[in-house]
Structure 1
Amino acid sequence: MENVNKILRNGNRQDTIEAMESLEQVLQATEVNETSSMSLNNVVVFLHRPRGSFAGLQISASDSEATSDKTVTNSRVSVHLPSEINVGLNTVVFLMLTLPGTNKTSEVLFENRLVGLSVSGRNISGLQDRVNITMNMNSAAMNETQKPSCVFLDFSTQNYSTDGCDTMWKPGQSHITCSCDHLTYFGVLLVSADLPPEHLEILSYISLIGCSLSLLVLVLTVLLFMSKRKVRADVSMKVHINLTVALILLNVHFLPSQTVAALSSPGLCLYIALAIHYSLLATFSWMALEGFHLYLLLVRVFNIYMRRYMLKLSVVGWGVPAVIVSLVVVIDRDTYGTVPLDSSKPNSTEICYIVDHTVKMVTTVGVFSLVFLYNLIMLGVTIRRVVSLRRRKQSGHIDHETAKRDICTLLGVTALLGVPWGLVFFSFGYLTVPGLYVFCILNSLQGVFIFIWFLMSLRKIGNSAAKTSSIKTQSSNS
């Protein structure tokens, strides 16, 4: 037991499983008169050998004690073994282990606890009268985005499986019961709560329609930009059009991703996954550069000249994402592949994207978190500057037309900076469903908002040009 405890504290997954198997074999071979209980740090053991016919067994265990003849104080786990097991003169082994907290997946093992049940010399499975393992769970054990799922450790694959186990739990309950038809090592995984299928279908349609509409108007935006010579000379419009191109690339590759994944073409799926990852990072980069350009316009008003400014922005906006994606491919090409659209359901519809959870979190969520924080600050600076300018110009009355223009300007800046993307951080708990709907609608329609902003900018440039022409005409006449 001391050796197992040492491995539990310091060993890896393989060493831990081997130690569990070795300890179980030793305990099964241990001579027991009737019952025996022992514990040491992360291991609690209870052995039972019936004297007569086996009429079932009830075991209660805390972090330091296990017994069958009374309820222990601060009980964590209780087990009911049915008489169907009919152990005869063999020894029943109860083993409760606390594993090291090294889980690197999105699934969390409740309290890192496994409960092992076995009978010496026998393999128990296919029970009609099931084994029930009940674990106490406080309200702080999981958040609203998680739900418990009863699993057992499959020693052959070293993964958790739900085969032969039913989860008996309802929201608000302080305990969960795992009802299983075999004996092995059991635990409770806290997995992401499922979004109802009807919501997933609606969200999919919203994304499809919104992204298709955005793609159409974004292409129209680029065509308008290319057809207007005065617009092409405007630096701010050049920054906007680069963000537009990044979004076009993202939509062009995202829309067919589901179809490509269904084709079972590894090469084509790899390309789509790479393209989505790159264009998503490029979108984030140009959102950040929109914030940087806004900073120059509002804060460094009289000192904004930079030599080869657009070239430098392009190197950052298009080059940094290329470096990140290239590093991922060089390190592990298998990082890209087919992944379930609903991560909580492995058999759900698949798309071509990033397979590795860690890479996805670091290179997408991590990068966006930094961009979102920076652009949120830039939006705050913009609001402060607009309010400050209006206070200076106003003389005791409110110009409603000016206020409307200011609101439209701030909304346009919000879309360019990608601030609505930050709604993904609020898509949890009680806000899960409404938060996802708002996030899905606003972000799939980002291209539409940018197109509207572009039209407003064209009108502004046109009015400015007309005003300048009028002034020149008046000057020549005078």
Structure 2
Amino acid sequence: MLLPNVFVEINHITNNSQWEEIEEDSRRKAAYLLMDSLESAIEVAVVNMDTERYNLAMDSLDLQVQVLEKKGVSVNGTVTLLAKQNQMEFHWETKKSKYHSDFAAISFIACTNMGKLLDVKELEMENKKFGKEHLELNSNLLMAIMTRSKQDLQNVTFTIKNKEEDDVDDYSVCVFLRETRERIFWSTTGCRKVFFNLSHTICNCRHLSNFAVLVALYKVESPALTIITYVGVSISLVALLAAIITFIMCRTIQSPRTSIHTHLCLCLFLAELLFLIGISKPESKAVCGAIAGVLHYLFLACFMWMLLEGFQLYLMVVKVFQAQSLRGKYTYPFAYGIPALIVIVSTAVYPEGYGTREHCWLTMEKGFRWSFVAPVCIICLVNLVFLVVTIWKLIQKFNSISPDLTYLQKIRLFIITAIAQLTVLGCSWIFGVFHFQRRTIALAYIFTILISFQGTFIFILHCVNNKQVRNEYRQWIANFCNFLKISKYSVFSESTRPSSSSQVGNSATSM
């Protein structure tokens, strides 16, 4: 009768509303002491148990015990324990011994309220120092207790029921509870996430002692990342605005390719402005979904214009006589219509895909992010084919007997900038895919820097790196300086010129 009495008491204690009145650190220590008491009671009861398997379920606690080894009991093979839709599985082989007093038992407990009472806010990752992160339990707190065994369990699999069936895989990690003299914290050492879906997370652990396993939400929250994002995007917005003005005002570079650059920069400017204002505004689900949908459309439009630039270069080198055929009446429906069609289809298929728990972007649920990643990969691949064919034809023209060096050098410069642009835009989102799939500090910084400074890179590639544009800038600066000199001279002349009344007075005095 020990375990039922202990469970009744712990069930009553954990459901008591007075926990909220206790100071946070004291509450955490008291909850940990309660877990320790529960563990001690289970170990005492299991040793004296006269059955091979025992189950006990209450509102906030669920226990299953399996005796693995004792006189008359010998378990060999896979052992599975269940508690509140959570599963623990491992392989056990009873070792032969001349002593008949060897005893081994495993207990698996699911605690509904204990995790909330502990409210542990520190996480130690294997490749990361301690940090107070955004932590939120997405499972019951689980305890696995091995009683009086000389064997260590080296490979234990936990199938853990998620509390919320949402796209939490962005940040979920498998952790266990550790205690030192200074702190109680979660740790990932020896535990890894094997599989995730909406309802369950599968964790594999290399060790087993008296510990807890759960799924936590881990989010990289670094002030440095925030500063890089805001500074980088702000600089990019200024650079993109300068590029748009340059492409419109600079007459010497007017061409279909310049028109493509103008629309590319315009789409990227609007996307980054909306990113800066609304990416972290998930309070209203409808507004957040709308922001995510518009961002989806604008970023796809950027890649469409980049594809058109690759095609334009292909026409200029391979189809010379059709180089001017890429006009607005063809490009606008293609560059703006196809992204709109993708967004419309995506919305119709899965409208809940826009907006996540943390950001106004595409959810990972049901593979929805492939509605952006797949078109981007296809566009980058097609563009790469265009560029390879263009470079091959360019090499052949350079090897001809009388090449037009000026034209070919101009094309070569265009190709270099197109490759650089493809690298900047394409690689940034490739890093983004890896970052969303496996969040690490290194990928977070690489992705943040590349995305934040996209506009700056494009301004450098197409404006600063262009000799005609630099000459135009010099002319604009010279005209502006001349204007300032003329204005300053006019003001000085007006201030030094005597008034007509003064002149008349002076004439009268002289007479």
TM-score by length of 2: 0.51
Query: Structure 1 residues 431 and 254, CA, compared in 2 at 3 Å: closer, same or farther?
Result: closer
Written as runs of structure 1 = structure 2, the 5 A alignment for 1:155-304 is: 166=177, 170=189, 176-178=206-208, 197=221, 200-229=222-251, 231-232=253-254, 234-261=255-282, 264-304=283-323
Please say which structure displays the higher CA radius of gyration: 2
Check whether the contact 1:130–1:181 (CA below 8 A) recurs between aligned residues.
yes
> Displacement of 1:235 after TM fit?
0.9
1:70 and 2:95 correspond: yes
CA RMSD after TM alignment: 5.5
1:413 and 2:432 correspond: no
AA aligned opposite 1:61? G
> Displacement of 1:168 after TM fit?
7.5
Deviation track 1:272-327 (CA, whole Å, cap 9, x = no partner) reads 11211111111122222222222212221233454x73222111111111111122
Match among 279, 303, 314 for residue 332 of structure 2:
314
Written as runs of structure 1 = structure 2, the 5 A alignment for 1:17-416 is: 61-62=77-78, 69-70=94-95, 80-81=105-106, 130-131=145-146, 136=154, 152-153=160-161, 166=177, 170=189, 176-178=206-208, 197=221, 200-229=222-251, 231-232=253-254, 234-261=255-282, 264-306=283-325, 309-340=327-358, 351-390=359-398, 409-416=414-421
Query: Structure 1 residues 337 and 127, CA, compared in 2 at 3 Å: closer, same or farther?
Result: closer
Query: Structure 1 residues 373 and 326, CA, compared in 2 at 3 Å: closer, same or farther?
Result: same
- Pairs aligned (count): 339
Deviation track 1:407-466 (CA, whole Å, cap 9, x = no partner) reads 8655421243355522554658999655554444344322223223332586438989xx
Which consecutive unaligned segments of at least 5 residues does structure 1 have?
1-32, 37-45, 72-78, 85-124, 138-147, 341-350, 465-478
Check whether the contact 1:58–1:81 (CA below 8 A) recurs between aligned residues.
no
Show the counterpart of 2:61. Answer: none
> Displacement of 1:170 after TM fit?
3.7
CA distance in structure 1 between the aligned counterparts of 2:402 and 2:343, rounded to whole angstroms: 50
AA aligned opposite 1:81? I
Show the counterpart of 2:497. Answer: none
The more displaced of 433-442 and 359-368 is 433-442
Deviation track 1:196-231 (CA, whole Å, cap 9, x = no partner) reads 65xx54333323222221111111222233334554
Query: Structure 1 residues 441 and 460, CA, compared in 2 at 3 Å: closer, same or farther?
Result: same
AA aligned opposite 2:361? Y
CA distance in structure 2 between the aligned counterparts of 1:131 and 1:152, rounded to whole angstroms: 19
CA distance in structure 1 between the aligned counterparts of 2:303 and 2:399, rounded to whole angstroms: 34
AA aligned opposite 1:284? F
Query: Structure 1 residues 66 and 256, CA, compared in 2 at 3 Å: closer, same or farther?
Result: closer
> Displacement of 1:66 after TM fit?
6.6
Which consecutive unaligned segments of at least 5 residues does structure 2 have?
1-49, 54-64, 81-89, 97-103, 110-139, 178-185, 193-203, 473-511
Check whether the contact 2:243–2:459 (CA below 8 A) recurs between aligned residues.
yes
AA aligned opposite 1:70? K
CA distance in structure 1 between the aligned counterparts of 2:290 and 2:441, rounded to whole angstroms: 32
Identical-residue share of aligned pairs (%) = 22
* SS at 2:161 equivalent: strand
* SS at 1:260 equivalent: coil
Check whether the contact 2:175–2:187 (CA below 8 A) recurs between aligned residues.
no
* SS at 2:232 equivalent: helix
Show the counterpart of 1:444. Answer: 452
> Displacement of 1:332 after TM fit?
3.5
Query: Structure 1 residues 208 and 402, CA, compared in 2 at 3 Å: closer, same or farther?
Result: farther
AA aligned opposite 1:354? L
Check whether the contact 2:424–2:454 (CA below 8 A) recurs between aligned residues.
no
CA distance in structure 2 between the aligned counterparts of 1:296 and 1:407, rounded to whole angstroms: 14
> Displacement of 1:379 after TM fit?
3.3
TM-score by length of 1: 0.54
> Displacement of 1:247 after TM fit?
0.5
Check whether the contact 1:217–1:451 (CA below 8 A) recurs between aligned residues.
yes
